[in-house]
Amino acid sequence: MNILLKLSAANLAHRTARTFYLTVLSVFMCFSVFLGTTLVMGMDNGLRQLRERLGADIIVVPREEAAVKNIEGILFSGKPGYFYMDKSVFEEISRMEGIEHITSQFYLSSVNADCCYTEIQLIGFDPQTDFIVRPWLKKSYDQELKKGEVIAGSNVLVPDSRILKIFNNDLTAVGSLEKTGTGLDSAVFGTVQTIKELMKSSAELGHLSSSVSPDSLVSSVLIKVKNGTSRFKLAREINKRFKEVRAIENQDLIRNFSTRLEVVSTVVKTVVGIIWILSLLIMILYFSMSLNERRREFAVLKVMGFTDRAVCTVIYWELLFILCAGAIAGFVLSSFWSLQLRYYLESRLEVPFLFESTSSFLLHGGTAVAASILLTLLSLLLPVIRTGRKQVFTVLREVD
């Protein structure tokens, strides 16, 4: 077997042009499969995290000031923003039938000014009624947040001092969240009292003009309905009763991203499929032509005592070397471009995107590449066997 390996390596080194072209085709195949697999996996993970983090069945927001797009921007795309409605709306909705849990949140956007650390989205939650934020905040900080304490999203750069300066207030970042692939990664979470104090400071600095006290305002109302209660009917009842607000079902927000993800995923799968199939067909054609040109070489090997199986083994070792070299190069290139495309998907297309872990990334991508290599080997099995079984005298007569 050692002799066969050395012979295969020598053949590849001797025919550099053929080796180079076949390796390039292998790189294209492995690159497209690895990149496509990791991108689709990242988008699926992002959508799953989106469903888990949203939590509420219904979100109630101001009708005029906050369109669905604004909600998406704050919760999903990391675009800083804020809007408010009277707190009495929350109190009246909480008395309606069919509600299991209800809470409110308070939004504020910092500005990129000397008074502030950076431009970020600030989200305040009520610890007494919250059923959405606290369950997954506890993974980073399992104690009660005090006034002036916040938890930062994974994309928020926290200095070594753990102090975030916002509107001339020093906030202590007591923890950082795991990455979610959504706009929540660029947000800072604190209690409603903390965020409302920041709003007062903002007004004093002239960054936010409001004559209404923050204590009488909320930004959104989040509702978990009881089992057996129709979300659609409850949302319709809220919209009918309160003309100044709009109740949006969870699935309506998710649907926009699901549709966007399906389009992007379909495009990625189609492009990957076309590149892979074309590369495979070209490789089969080119490799088959190469085998045909090397008939005399294989005939000489048989004259020297090589069996049909040994000749096929030499050919397959050459092919395996080429595919493995292409897989390594394709892995490096696809890993780099996966990260670049992730930033593009998150920032430009506003698609939630998340790699679970390095091991999961390598496992899924590696499995796809291994499957691609195996399928290529199987596709070339017939030409290799046909070449290995040709009789010596028949080959020499054809060549002559």
Give, as one character, the DSSP assignment of residue 113: S
**107-121, 143-157, 294-308, 329-343: which has the minimum mean pLDDT?**
107-121
**14-23, 60-69, 113-122, 150-159: which has the minimum mean pLDDT?**
113-122
- What is the C-alpha end-to-end distance of the chain, expressed in Å? 32
What is the per-residue pLDDT across 230-263, written as a single tens digit (0 to 9) for each? Answer: 988 999 999 999 988 989 887 776 776 677 677 8
Structure tokens belonging to residue 245 = 């607000």
Whole-prediction pTM: 0.66
Q: To which H or E segment does residue 245 belong?
A: strand 245-249
* pLDDT of the residue at 124: 92
| Whether residue 399 has pLDDT greater than 90 | no
Q: Give the type of residue at 184.
A: L
| Residues ≥6 apart with Cβ < 8 Å to 313 | 1, 4
Domain ranges of the chain: 2-49+257-399, 64-243
* pLDDT of the residue at 389: 65
| Whether residue 321 has pLDDT greater than 80 | yes
| Residues ≥6 apart with Cβ < 8 Å to 378 | none
Closest among 227, 291, 250 to 68, alpha carbons compared: 250
Give percent of the chain above pLDDT 70.
80
Q: Which of 67-81, 244-258, 332-346 has the highest mean pLDDT?
A: 244-258
- β pairing state of 85-86 and 217-218: antiparallel
| Residues ≥6 apart with Cβ < 8 Å to 194 | 124, 145, 147, 148, 149, 150, 171
* pLDDT of the residue at 237: 93
* pLDDT of the residue at 78: 60
| Whether residue 113 has pLDDT greater than 50 | no
- Contact between residue 319 and residue 287 where contact means Cβ atoms under 8 Å apart: yes
